[in-house]
Amino acid sequence: MNRPAVEYNLAASTLRRAQLNPERTALVFEEQQYTYGELGDRVRRQAALLRAQGVCVGDRVGYLGFNHPALLETLFAAHTLGAIFVPLNFRLTGQELTFIINDAGIHTLIVDDALLPVIEPVRDELCCRNFYTSESEAPGWGHLSTARAEAEPLHSVVSVDQHDVAIIMYTSGTTGLPKGAMLTHGNIVWNNINASLAFGGSRDDVILTVAPLFHIGGLNVMTLGSFHTGSTLVLLRNFDPVQVLADIQRYHVSHMFGAPAMYLFMAQQPQFADTDLTSIKTLICGAAPVPESLIELYGERGIDFCQGYGLTETAPFSSFLTPEWAISKLGSAGQAPLYSDTRIVDNDNRPLPAGERGEICLRGPNIMKGYWNRPEATAEAIDAEGWFHSGDIGYLDEDGFLFICDRLKDMVISGGENVYPAEVEGALYRHEAIAEVAVIGMPDDKWGEAVTAVVALHSGKELTLEELREFAEPLLARYKLPLRLHIVDALPRNPAGKVLKFVLKEQLED
């Protein structure tokens, strides 16, 4: 008997949810609530609009802007047509965006009103055929809300295979030009299956998303999964710790994804002590390990962390550290998900035993299809056996828990010795004066590279290099001790919360 193929189209599942539960609240944004029925109607109308503008199967549709319902509606509308969605980093300059937009060959571009001044100067350099604003009218631009309201809902959805590309998400481009990771419909679905098996999920959950949706963490740690389960998504335009606390209490939020710095800033607010957090089941954390002090602080309120490790290319989850292991495996990135694998290899791509450091390699249905228009880069990243080479250094302990030591490109070679900055940072973080620390290698005539600590201090604190070295000497081998110390107001971070070490190097080289 012929069985119908499984429908992997992300739009089809969301529109099916709109049919099954039209009355349920799908989305809350700036006090406005949308039911699944209303969301489905908006998506179908926008899909009709895009089709009328010539968007076809495989075409790319881009969105540039802060978190907004229009971004998600554009994603689902593009998928309704079998088109590919391209979220764009709102932190980039016009020239940086020009490269990405033209590299992706974006057909139709929708831009947040606040980003028009960035795009207008380069508009004539872009390959796009159609331009729309997301919220208000602007001369020379189509107005998405008006045009969508005038369109008749499209009732058909293009059937796709799980290996068809759903999203092209460009890496941050911290070194060289950014590359577009091709994430398939299957990648997204299987990531959400892995995630739901790790930290649960039901249609009664309330998910708060504040991380930027152009980033894989903001978009696919919990956001897209919430539409699969039929739960409610509370979407914030950007991160404001006071607003986050207020919305957790107001909407009885059960889950949130963020970087450790976000949770720290929330805990530092005067409102934190009096905010009702009893609705929270789990806080999901990525970008860096959660410090023990933060685990204990939230633990006093009965709140657990589920930590994860992943990359854009892995959609993103590649390991989970669930709450029961948070202390006993402190600093670990956790275990591989049920439907994914992890191994550590040497420079010759040979698997290493437990405890030995090497490159972290990942395999599973969540691994990207490849890099857009970059067959050579794809071949470098994904080997013949299907293992994705992450560029991260780590090891597996005897229990199979992953520990991340550093990025291959961040490793410091001082006096012929390999120094892993993350190890040094972990030791320096123990100093009471240090609020933030990043360790980088700077050119040095004697050592090749000098281990350099860049720190932000707690208010009212002071620190000298001699004091820092004396503090760290019992914790680190002498060749790992900082040779230089630079004090800054704050460390530069990308929207995912990761420290931009290349920016620090550029600043210190000037």
How does pLDDT run across 9-62, given as a tens digit for each residue? 999 999 999 999 999 999 999 999 999 999 999 999 999 999 999 999 999 999
Task: For residues 54 and 202, state if they share a domain.
Answer: no
Task: For residues 78 and 156, state if they share a domain.
Answer: yes
In terms of C-beta density within 10 A (0-12 exposed, 13-18 middle, 19 or more buried), how is residue 503 classed?
middle
Task: For residues 428 and 373, state if they share a domain.
Answer: no
Task: Quickly state the pLDDT bin for 6 (edges 50, 70, 90).
Answer: low
Task: For residues 402 and 441, state if they share a domain.
Answer: no
Task: Quickly state the pLDDT bin for 448 (edges 50, 70, 90).
Answer: confident
Task: Write 500-506 long-range contacts (CB < 8 A, 24+).
Answer: 500/174, 501/410, 501/421, 501/438, 501/440, 502/174, 502/175, 504/438, 504/440, 504/454, 505/440, 505/442
Q: Which amino acid is at 437?
A: V
The pLDDT of residue 400 is: 96
Any idea what the CATH number is for the domain that residue 41 is in? 3.40.50.980
439: closest CA among 504, 378, 377, 509? 504
Task: For residues 279 and 402, state if they share a domain.
Answer: yes
Task: For residues 505 and 403, state if they share a domain.
Answer: no
Examine residue 171 and state whether it is found in any structural domain, yes or no.
no
Examine residue 180 and state whether it is found in any structural domain, yes or no.
no
Task: For residues 384 and 418, state if they share a domain.
Answer: no
Averaged pLDDT for residues 282-288: 86
Interatomic CA distance for residues 385 and 378, integer angstroms = 13
Strands 255-258 and 484-487: unpaired
Task: For residues 377 and 443, state if they share a domain.
Answer: no
Model confidence, pTM: 0.83
Among 380, 407, 434, residue at a domain's last position: 407
Task: For residues 489 and 442, state if they share a domain.
Answer: yes
Q: How many CB atoms lie within 10 A of CB 136?
A: 12
Among 407, 425, 445, residue at a domain's last position: 407
The pLDDT of residue 467 is: 96
Among 110, 142, 160, residue at a domain's last position: 160
Task: For residues 130 and 199, state if they share a domain.
Answer: no
Examine residue 495 and state whether it is found in any structural domain, yes or no.
yes
Examine residue 355 and state whether it is found in any structural domain, yes or no.
yes
Examine residue 474 and state whether it is found in any structural domain, yes or no.
yes
Mean pLDDT of the chain: 92
Any idea what the CATH number is for the domain that residue 422 is in? 3.30.300.30
Task: For residues 399 and 416, state if they share a domain.
Answer: no
Task: Quickly state the pLDDT bin for 509 (edges 50, 70, 90).
Answer: confident
Examine residue 181 and state whether it is found in any structural domain, yes or no.
no
Which residues make beta-bridge pairs with 35?
A: 25
- Tens of pLDDT, residue by residue over 377-435, are 999 999 999 999 998 989 999 999 999 887 767 778 787 677 878 788 988 999 999 99
Q: What is the 3-state secondary structure (H, E, C) of 24-89?
A: CEEEEECCEEEEHHHHHHHHHHHHHHHHHCCCCCCCEEEEECCCCHHHHHHHHHHHHCCCEEEEEC
Examine residue 122 and state whether it is found in any structural domain, yes or no.
yes
- Tens of pLDDT, residue by residue over 325-346, are 988 998 899 999 999 999 999 9
Is the pLDDT assigned to residue 174 strictly greater than 50? no
Task: For residues 390 and 419, state if they share a domain.
Answer: no
Number of domains in the chain: 3
Query: Whole domain around residue 447: which residue ranges?
Result: 411-509
